[in-house]
Structure 1
Amino acid sequence: MGKLTTHVLDTAHGRPGAGIAIELYKLDGDARQPLKRTVTNDDGRCDEPLLEGDALQAGEYELVFHAGDYFAAAGVRVPEPRFVDHVVLRFGIADVAAHYHVPLLVSPWAYSTYRGS
């Protein structure tokens, strides 16, 4: 059974990104359909898959991570406007039977992602 998962690592402090709000959207051309809103746990992960089983469909998706709010709540001094604020990751799902893991490594100044396992 396929599923979509994520986690966040705070690379500026070398710890999980706990308490980061995440929004998931399904894309259809220029339209964005909201699917889920969640918050990372103390390990920087979601308590359950973002999508799994029949809910995981082939197509394009978007994850929005509210990283700027996380760093502000942690007391990190950053300029306004924030350099990294809402991190938007767009990706495609082709194989609905596969596990798609989309992690975010983030600091107030940079971010990266990859397809994990």
Structure 2
Amino acid sequence: MSLSTHVLDTANGRPAAGVAVALRKDGEVIAELTTNEDGRATFGDVGAGGFELEFAVGSYFGEAPFLDTVPVRFTIADAGAHYHVPLLVSPWAYSTYRGT
């Protein structure tokens, strides 16, 4: 099916619009997107395999943030399923999970 992400700025309580997100498959960049005004980005059908989403949160937060880029590595085992990978992030910490 597809892969999507949603970046939420937990420090300011809002979606993180304008965050650059790179998608890597087996170490190679296969797509680069920027989150929309709702903090979302959709990569479409990416198939199965090992992936990494790299979020450029340092540019989003600006002025000397603790976090620069946040890598999230995961495996898509079922190429027919939808995978949603949210990122909850502040300048100092982040968490992620497999969403719906």
* TM-score normalised by length of structure 1: 0.82
The residue number in structure 1 matching 2:54 is 64
List runs of 5+ in structure 1 lacking aligned partners: none
Deviations 1:68-89 (CA, angstroms, capped at 9, x unpaired): 10000xxxx43xxx42110000
Identity %: 56
User: What is the alpha-carbon distance in structure 1 between the residues aligned to residue 32 and residue 92 of structure 2?
Assistant: 24
List runs of 5+ in structure 2 lacking aligned partners: none
Deviations 1:28-82 (CA, angstroms, capped at 9, x unpaired): xxxx111101101110012xx2131xxx22110000000010000xxxx43xxx4
Report the aligned-residue RMSD: 1.0
**Structure 1 outlier segments of 4+, above 2 Å:** none
- The structure with the larger Rg is 1
User: What is the alpha-carbon distance in structure 2 between the residues aligned to residue 57 and residue 45 of structure 1?
Assistant: 20
User: What is the alpha-carbon distance in structure 2 between the residues aligned to residue 99 and residue 7 of structure 1?
Assistant: 14
The residue number in structure 2 matching 1:16 is 15
